[in-house]
Amino acid sequence: MKKNSYHKGNVRADLIQAAEAILNEEGLAALSVRRVAREVGVVPSAVYNHFESREELLAAVAADGYQYMERLVDRLERGSGDPSQRLRRLAREYLQFAAANPNLYRLMFSSDVVAYRLHPELEQAADTSFGRLTQWWYGPGNYDSTRSAVKYPNALSVWSIMHGAALQMIEGLIQVDPRHKGAVDGLADAVIGTLIRGLMPTLSEKA
Amino acid sequence: MKKNSYHKGNVRADLIQAAEAILNEEGLAALSVRRVAREVGVVPSAVYNHFESREELLAAVAADGYQYMERLVDRLERGSGDPSQRLRRLAREYLQFAAANPNLYRLMFSSDVVAYRLHPELEQAADTSFGRLTQWWYGPGNYDSTRSAVKYPNALSVWSIMHGAALQMIEGLIQVDPRHKGAVDGLADAVIGTLIRGLMPTLSEKA
DNA sequence: TGTACATCAGTGAACGCGCGTTCACTGATGTAC
DNA sequence: TGTACATCAGTGAACGCGCGTTCACTGATGTAC
């Protein structure tokens, strides 16, 4: 392909990829339309042939991230071992993903930046991940996609504790270096282990 | 006090208060130095008599938020009831705080916006909250302030599950309306209840 | 009690910046005849 | 096979914007003598 030709090919895909790279390396603040365009070698206004706005570009990046989540749940469903073993594996993989892609992880879960409600395909991606985890747990027949706290406390708790641990790690609120894989696994084991066993034993010890 | 006098009094406190109001009502993006100054009735450059930079102002706002966390832990320590009852109460109060002050909550826990490491008083405030929870649990003699995942799995898990639930609620990832106090309590009960009981019973049921 | 002066906390104008987005345009490509 | 033309995806210049921050300044206040 000639350097200065029009119709460069898959500019849309290139933009998303460049955006992901910038996000990972320099964070969300550096991810501007102009910057992404520059990186791809295109003029800023060209971006608007592929995305309606900056936010739509960000939504596309986030949606890309959810594909990774999907794969995690795939492995949960198809994996071997008893349920608690699978859950422990899920926990490790989940935190490893967050540790390796902190800025992407943040973007995926902050409606502050990308309003889910405005990007149905994104909301659906998030729903699917949670829904499949829930169905694995409660059986397909029992899932009604409302994600009610009362109806699915177990799935909700797994999601909450993993999300909380991931963010505390990413934000540096706990002494776990995201670049140290062993430490990340240790964190995963600690929280999912506690959740599986429950606090009752130590609490009654206290009483 | 005269309207146009210099030396207006507690401009610093006013700035923090105005910043909190803007944050709550319009979100972080609206919280600019110029905007806060305008709200207080002062020229933008006057802000720099009280804060070195925008980030320092934000750090002051976040530090203010931590005082609320302190009070939660106070009540945990001094409250009545057995440990698990106290923990359940803490969970409710924690989520109610997050529900009532979502933008402040986000600011407090995102190093993206305010780099903790650069604001020691802020890092200390965060440490204190976690440390006191841990000490309540393990006894004062056993706390060494490293917040290691391996050493304090119980306190860490409580923190993680509450943080995760709070953020999912705030970001609209779960079907809980933050303005509905009953629903927020329900969420708190669900996650802390699951954590206390543990997943073992349902997991072995599955196996 | 009155005066000189240092200090403090404001003012007002200006800086350079990168941003998201719009617009009229134009070159390359694919298709119909 | 050659030509006319619609479409698509680029270009380039410009828009208005609010931002964080700096600077020389000045009015009000408190203190020392």
Q: Domain ranges in chain A?
A: 1-51, 54-206
Beta carbons of A160 and B156 less than 8 Å apart? no
Contact list in A for residue B28 (CB cut-off 8 A) is 112
CA count, 13 A, side-chain hemisphere, B199:
26
Instruction: Please report the pLDDT score of residue B5 as a whole number.
Output: 55
Instruction: Please report the pLDDT score of residue B154 as a whole number.
Output: 94
Distance (Å) of CA A127 to CA A66, A84, A121, A186, B84:
10, 23, 10, 28, 32
Question: Using the CB atom, is residue A39 less than 7 Å from strand D?
Answer: no
CA neighbor of B75 nearest in space, from B59, B92, B90, B95: B90
Contact list in A for residue B196 (CB cut-off 8 A) is 198-200, 203
Closest chain B C-alpha to A35 CA, distance in angstroms = 20
CA neighbor of A73 nearest in space, from A123, A130, A120: A130
The first and second tokens of residue A38, run together, are 């520059």
What is the residue whose two structure tokens read 């720099």? B48
Q: CB–CB of B64/B105 below 8 Å?
A: no
| Count helices and strands in chain A by DSSP H and E runs | 9, 0
Identical fold for domains A1-51 and A54-206, yes or no, is: no
Q: CB–CB of B55/B47 below 8 Å?
A: no
CB < 8 Å & 24+ apart, contacts of B173-180: B173/A109, B173/A111, B173/A116, B173/A126, B173/A130, B174/A147, B174/A149, B174/A156, B175/A146, B175/A147, B175/A148, B175/A149, B176/A149, B178/B98, B178/B99, B178/B100, B178/B102, B179/B99
Beta carbons of B168 and A168 less than 8 Å apart? no
- How far apart CA A40 and CA B124 sit, in angstroms, is 43
Q: Is A88 helix (H, G, I), strand (E, B) or coil?
A: helix
Instruction: Please report the pLDDT score of residue B126 as a whole number.
Output: 84
- Return the ∠ at Cα B15 (arms to B3 and B59), rounded to 5°: 170
Question: Using the CB atom, is residue B80 less than 7 Å from strand D?
Answer: no
Q: DSSP character for B45?
A: G
| CA A170 to C1' C21, whole Å | 33
CA neighbor of B20 nearest in space, from B53, B54, B64: B64
Which of B156, B160, B177 is most worth mutating to test chain A (most A CB atoms within 10 A of its CB)? B160
Closest chain B C-alpha to A121 CA, distance in angstroms = 14
Of 1.10.1370.30, 3.40.605.10, 3.90.1150.10, 1.10.357.10, the CATH number of A54-206 is: 1.10.357.10
Q: CB–CB of A132/A77 below 8 Å?
A: yes
Instruction: Please report the pLDDT score of residue A7 as a whole number.
Output: 66
- How far apart CA A95 and CA A8 sit, in angstroms, is 38
- How far apart CA A118 and CA A102 sit, in angstroms, is 23
Closest chain B C-alpha to A166 CA, distance in angstroms = 8
- How far apart CA B36 and CA B48 sit, in angstroms, is 12
Would an 8 Å CB–CB cutoff place B44 in contact with chain A? no
What is the residue whose two structure tokens read 């955006």? A19
Of 3.40.50.150, 1.10.760.10, 1.10.10.60, 3.40.50.300, the CATH number of A1-51 is: 1.10.10.60
State which amino acid sits at residue B33: V
- How far apart CA B168 and CA B102 sit, in angstroms, is 11
The first and second tokens of residue B57, run together, are 């102002």
The first and second tokens of residue B144, run together, are 């060494």
What is the residue whose two structure tokens read 């004062």? B140
- Return the ∠ at Cα B118 (arms to B117 and B120), rounded to 5°: 75
Beta carbons within 8 Å of B4's beta carbon, 6+ residues apart: none
What is the residue whose two structure tokens read 């700035």? B15
Beta carbons of B191 and A116 less than 8 Å apart? no
Name residues 3-32 of chain A with a Cβ under 7 Å from nucleic strand D: 6-9, 11
- Contact map slice: B 81-140 vs A, CB within 8 A: 82-84, 87, 106, 109-112, 116-117, 126, 130, 137
CA neighbor of A85 nearest in space, from B85, B207, B148, B1: B207
Instruction: Please report the pLDDT score of residue B146 as a whole number.
Output: 67
pLDDT by residue for chain A (207 residues), tens only, comes to 333 456 667 899 999 999 999 999 999 999 999 999 999 999 999 999 999 999 999 999 999 999 999 999 999 999 888 999 999 999 999 999 999 999 999 999 998 888 887 888 888 888 888 888 888 888 877 777 666 767 899 999 999 999 999 999 999 989 899 999 999 999 999 999 999 999 999 888 876
Residues of chain B with pLDDT under 50: 1-4
Q: B111-140 burial string, b = 16+ CB within 10 Å, else e? A: bbbbebeebeebbebbeebbbbbbbbbbee
The whole-model pTM stands at 0.93
Instruction: Please report the pLDDT score of residue B1 as a whole number.
Output: 36
What burial class does residue A61 get, using C-beta atoms within 10 Å of its C-beta: 0-12 exposed, 13-18 middle, 19+ buried? Answer: buried
User: Within 7 A of a protein CB, which nucleotides of strand D?
Assistant: 8-14, 18-24, 26-29
Which of A133, A145, A173 is most worth mutating to test chain B (most B CB atoms within 10 A of its CB)? A173
Q: DSSP character for B42?
A: S
